[in-house]
Amino acid sequence: MVPARATSRRLTHAAALERLGPWSGRAAVGTAALAVGWLIGHGRATLPVAASVGIVVLVRLSAEPRRGLLWGVLIVLLIPATTTVGGGKLSVIRVAALLVALAVAFDLRRPATVGRLSAVDWCVAGFCVVGIVGWLLEAQPPHGSAFAINYVLPLAFYVGARRFGADVDQVINVIFVGASLASLTVLYEALVVHRPLFADPTSYYWSATSAFIFRPGGVFGGPPQAASVLAMSTLCGLPLVYRAHGMKRIGLSACLIASFAALVLTFTRGPLLGFALGLVAFAVLLGPATWARFAYAGGTLGVFAAVALLPHIQTTAWFEKGVLRGGTLAARQVVWNQTRALITDSTSHELFGHGTNSVVIGTPWLPGDPPADIAQVPALTQAGAQDQYIRTLIEGGATGLLLLVGWILGAVANGVALSFRRARDRRTAAALTAACVAFAVTALVDDALRQSQTEVMLALVTGLLVSLSRGDADAGESRL
């Protein structure tokens, strides 16, 4: 039993924090106004504009911190990842992560809503530590710190999702609608202009050739990034469409159709397979009452595709170049076979790997001299490991791989348990779990975590899942 005196102290503390809220916003406005005045007085034209925007952001965040997480999600989804500000030193992912960090810092005024750390929290923290320590211990180019920082920054979204997990429906709404808006750029590239709009066409890897069809990437930067994010966001939107009514349901259904159409038009088979298996996981977690509907819908679509659709499209050029294109899996298998020696050549590499970003040293993105053993596998540097689990083994060793698997499977276990408990949020938990399944499958054939948008999406989905599970457990304890 909690003593009355302790309860009184907590109430007094909460009241003091509530009174402090408006004053913190006023202090932020005053400080920012002084900074703007100084900048204008010293003749610096661009900085006052940035500072003016900063005033608005600080005021809104101080009043409602969770907006920082929502704004960060929209920035990652709707602004090309290659965009930079501040003389090219401040990337989109850094701006978004900074907003999330500010949101969490402002929200610390309130009593903590996150209870004891879960096993998934420790796995994420450990994965981050392994990445940083691996970069510090291994010989990296002098400017390699930027890549190491960008590798860790998306995990700020995991912290934000854990802190603001009580607003799970609002966060999922922003993820789903934001990704749907971004999918329109993929559709526009595929159906209208037939060329990349947000990347250099001369160096775009997925441009049309005599052997391959043009594969759009839209604002995501490339089809693998677009497909990975859309596979996860589309699954997250399923419970939103189910719960909506009237015009809202029509609008969300349109978002669902646009996202799925863009996912298909990327012609990226790994995320498509991940989406399909995620959809199966979603149906299974909802229980036998929904299996008949999913089986009927899936069977109907399968019969229609086999009888009416496939005979007409299997001889078309886009089907042969986009869907039936060969050689990609064989090329991946060659690289995978060559990486075995890199992983097991020493005890240190087996346990802790070669260090963060060691695979990409020597590329235009990270110039420098690659490690001698990795340099002997030029295909690895040129095309990447094409498997996130193998890449984690190379860069983080068995320790990094165990932490990554614990992160993903731990979140899935939380979602499964929450769904089977028939909790109030079981549909949301099932959708988030399905998104984790989609990522786990995609990671088998792609360096998924090297795509900042995909890493942000995984951090959000797993963070929300853990928050849902912990919140449900706390509610159950309180009822007892």
Rounded Cα distance, 30 and 33, in Å = 5
For residues 154 and 455, is the Cβ–Cβ distance under 8 A? yes
Partners of 262 in beta bridges: none
Q: Torsion angle, CA of 377/380/381/385, rounded to 10 degrees?
A: -160
pLDDT at residue 200, as a whole number:
86
- Reduced to 3 states (helix: H, G, I; strand: E, B; else coil), residue 363 is strand
**Residues 285 and 416: beta-carbon distance below 8 Å:** yes
Please tell me the total number of residues recorded for the chain in this structure: 480
Lowest mean pLDDT among 4-18, 56-70, 160-174: 4-18
CA-nearest of 359, 394, 287, 88 to 368 is 359
Alpha carbons 12 and 378: distance in angstroms, whole number = 64
State the pTM of this model. Answer: 0.83
The whole-number pLDDT of residue 328 equals 67
Q: How many CA atoms lie within 13 A of 396 on its CB side?
A: 23
Residue 447: both structure tokens together: 């360096």
Strands (DSSP E) found in 163-218: none
CA torsion angle 345 351 357 358 (round to 10): -20
Report long-range pairs for 346-352 (Cβ below 8 Å, ≥24 apart). 348/397, 349/397, 350/397, 350/398, 351/397, 351/398, 351/399, 352/130, 352/133, 352/134, 352/137, 352/396, 352/397, 352/399, 352/400
How far is residue 320's CA from residue 33's CA, in Å, rounded to a whole number? 60
Lookup result for tokens 């005599």: 210
Interval 11-45: pLDDT, tens? 444 444 444 444 455 555 555 555 555 555 555 55
342-371 pLDDT, tens digit each: 887 787 788 888 878 788 777 766 777 777
Average pLDDT in the chain = 78
**Backbone φ, ψ for residue 85 (5° rounding):** -130, 175
pLDDT digit string, tens, across residues 204-224: 888 877 667 888 999 999 999
pLDDT band at 406 (very low <50, low <70, confident <90, very high): very high
DSSP per position, 133-166: HHHHHS---GGGHHHHHHHHGGGHHHHHHHHTGG
Task: Give the pLDDT of residue 321.
Answer: 55
Task: Work out the pLDDT band at 410, boundaries 50, 70, 90.
Answer: very high
Phi, psi of 238 (to 5 degrees): -60, -50
Rounded distance, CA 152 to CA 190, Å? 33
**DSSP code per residue over 73-114:** HHHHHHS-TT-EETTTTEEHHHHHHHHHHHHHHHHTTSPP--
Tell me the backbone φ, ψ of residue 36, rounded to 5 degrees: -65, -45
Give the span between the Cα atoms of 238 and 256, in whole angstroms: 8
CB burial of residue 192 (10 Å; 0-12, 13-18, 19+): exposed
pLDDT for position 479: 31
